[in-house]
Chains A and B, each alone.
Chain A
C-alpha cells in the first residue's frame, strides 16, 4: 500500500511516500531561517509558511519517488499534538487529497510518529520495549507493549529536553537550534568543569523536569558575570549536555529494568545528540540491552514516520472521517 504522510505540527512542512516499510521519498522544508530570525517558532508565522509550502512539498514527495497523485492509496496526517494553526494546514491538505482521490484518511498522533521512526529504521526492534522520545517539543518515556499499544510511563513536567537546550543556547548567545550547537561545543569542553543539577534523576516515577537545570545554568552564568569572570562556553555546553544525558539515560535504563525489556528505542530530535547515543550504547552494552536509534533523517520531525504510523493504523482497519478533529494537546493512545 502506497501511503502519503503529511506533517505540519510545528515548524517543518513535510511530506513522504511509504510503500510497506520502504520510504520512497521524504521531503522536509524546515523553517530554520524564520526560527533563527525570531529566536524560536512563532505559531502564526509557521502556519503562514506551511500554507505557502504544502503544495510544493507534496508535489516534490511524489516527483522524487516517480509517482503521481493517482498512485497514492491512503493519506496519513499528524492531527494530534502540535500548534493548532499549523496542524490545521496539514489536515486540510490531507482531507482535500483523501476526498479528491477517494482514498482512506487516517489521523496520527505526533508522538506515535516519533515512536514509528524507531521501528521504521530498525525492523529488528522487538516488542515489548521501552521508548524514550525526546525533542524540542516533548520528552516522554513509554512502554511499547506491541505495535500501536503504549503505556505512558513519564513525561516532562515543564520544559522538554530539547527546549532546555534551545533556551539555554539562546540565553548564552550560542545560536539556534540549541541541541546541535551545544553538542558541537561540548566536543571541546570538559563535562566535569561544571556540575549542574540532574532534576528528578533519583525521584520515584519517570517524569522529567528541566526548568531547574535551566535556572541553575543561568544563575551560574550571572554569578560569574557579577564577579567579572567569563565562563568558557565549551565547558558550560558540556556541563549542560552531561546533565541532560545523565537524566535521560538514567531514567530510561531504570524503566527498562522495571519492565524487564531487552530493548530500548530512543527517538525524536534529541536522539541525534552524539553524547546521548554514546552513553546509551555504552550503558546498554554493560546491561545487555539493545539500544536502537532512528536514521538521522528520521530523528527530527518528518512525514515518513507519520506515514509509517498511519500505515500501521490503516492495517488495523482504522479510518478517519472528513470531520477529523485537530487536537493540539491530545494524550497519546486511543483510535485515530
Chain B
C-alpha cells in the first residue's frame, strides 16, 4: 500500500512516501517563516522525489500532535481535504508514537517527549513494544520535567528530538529512584508516519476524514482561565 505521510507539529515539516516497508521518499523541511504556507508545495516536492503522483497514493497518514497547535491544524486540514477529494483513506498517528517508533530498536520501554513550547512544559507518553508493535503504556503526560521524572521507572529509553538536553533536564529529578535512563535523539520522519499509518490502514483502522482532529492535549488558555475562575466548562 502506497502511503503519503506528513507531520507539521515540530520545527521541521516532514513528509514521506512508503510502500509497505519500502521508503520511497523521506523529506524534512527546516522551519522557515513560511513553513506552514509551504505544506502543499512540500508534499508536491516529496511526491516527485518518490517518483509518484497523488493518483498513485493509496492512503494518507498525518501526525496529529502534540506539538505546535497551528502546525498540527494545518497538517490535519491538508490531510483531511486530500482524503476527502481523492476518496482515499486517512489515518492519524500520534506524533509521540512517531518519535517512539524511531527509537524502537534501542529499548523496550520507550518514553517519547516533545517540548510544549511554554514554561518548561513537555508532552510525553511511554510505549512498550508488544507483538512487534508499539503500545502506549499509560496516559499522555503534560507538565514539567519534574513530574515526568516521577512517572518513570526501571530502564527507560528516552526518545526526543534533542535527547541530550532533555536528559540533562531530567537527571537532577531522578536521584535515588533507580531509573536507568538512556537518551536517543530521533527526528520526526514523514516515512515513519506513512509506515505507521499504512499498518493501520491495512488493518482497516483508518479514521473518518471529516471528523479528523488534532491531538492538542491542552485546552486553549482562554478556556483554562474560564474553567478556573468561573468553575464550569
Binding site for B on A (CB under 8 A): 37-38, 42, 44-45, 47-48, 50-52, 54-56, 58-59, 69, 84-85, 88-89, 91-93, 95-101, 321-326
Contact A56 B220 (CB under 8 A): no
B118 at the interface (CB under 8 A from A): no
Question: Which residues on B are within 8 Å of A, measured CB to CB?
Answer: 34, 36-41, 43-44, 54, 69-70, 73-74, 76-78, 80-82, 84-86, 209-214, 216, 220-223, 226
Cα distance A45–B216 in the bound complex, in angstroms: 12
With most chain B CB atoms within 10 A of its CB, the pick from A98, A323, A326 is A323
Counting chain B CB atoms within 10 Å of each CB, which of A45, A89, A95 scores highest? A95
Q: Which A-chain residue is minimally distant from B222 (CB atoms)?
A: A42
Least CB distance, B75 to chain A, in whole angstroms: 8
- Tell me the bound Cα distance from A100 to B77 in angstroms: 13
When the two chains form their complex, are residues B37 and A45 in contact, meaning their CB atoms are under 8 A apart?
no
Task: Please tell me which one of the listed residues A52, A89, A91, A96 contacts residue B82 in the complex, with CB atoms under 8 A apart.
Answer: A96
With A92-B39, A95-B78 as known contacts, state yes or no: A45 contacts B70, CB within 8 Å.
no
What residues of B have a CB within 8 angstroms of the CB of A42 in the complex? 220, 222-223
Taking the nearest CB of chain A, how far is it from the CB of B145, in angstroms? 25
A89 to B84, CA, bound (A): 15
Q: How far is the CB of A132 from chain B (nearest CB, A)?
A: 32
Number of A-B pairs, beta carbon distance below 8 Å:
107
User: Is there contact, CB below 8 Å, between A323 and B37?
Assistant: yes
Q: Are B39 and A48 in contact (CB under 8 A)?
A: no
**List of A residues within 8 angstroms of B216 by Cβ:** 48
Tell me the bound Cα distance from A89 to B76 in angstroms: 9
Cα distance, A93 to B76, chains bound together (Å): 9
Q: How far is the CA of A254 from the CA of B222 in the complex (A)?
A: 43
Q: Is B43 a contact partner of A99 (Cβ separation < 8 A)? A: yes
A96 close to B40 (CB less than 8 A):
yes
The closest CB in chain B to the CB of A84 belongs to B70
In the complex the two chains form, what is the Cα distance from A136 to B8 in whole Å? Answer: 32
Q: With A55-B209, A99-B54 as known contacts, state yes or no: A325 contacts B74, CB within 8 Å.
A: no
Tell me, rounded to whole Å, the shortest Cβ–Cβ distance linking A5 to chain B.
15
Taking the nearest CB of chain B, how far is it from the CB of A144, in angstroms? 30
State the Cβ distance, A276 to closest chain B Cβ, in Å: 32
26 residue pairs bridging A and B, Cβ less than 8 Å apart: A38-B226, A42-B222, A47-B69, A47-B73, A48-B214, A48-B216, A54-B80, A58-B81, A58-B84, A59-B84, A69-B84, A85-B73, A88-B36, A89-B77, A92-B81, A93-B77, A93-B78, A93-B81, A95-B40, A97-B81, A98-B40, A99-B43, A100-B82, A322-B41, A324-B37, A325-B34
Q: Given A69-B84, A323-B34, A99–B44 Cβ distance below 8 Å?
A: yes
Please measure, in the bound complex, the distance between the C-alpha atom of A89 and the C-alpha atom of B70, giving whole angstroms.
Answer: 9
**CB of A236, distance to nearest CB on chain B (Å):** 27
Report the separation of the CA atoms of residues A99 and B85 in the bound assembly, to the nearest whole angstrom.
Answer: 10
Q: Which residues of B contact A47 (CB under 8 A)?
A: 69-70, 73
B34, B74, B86, most chain A CB atoms within 10 A: B74
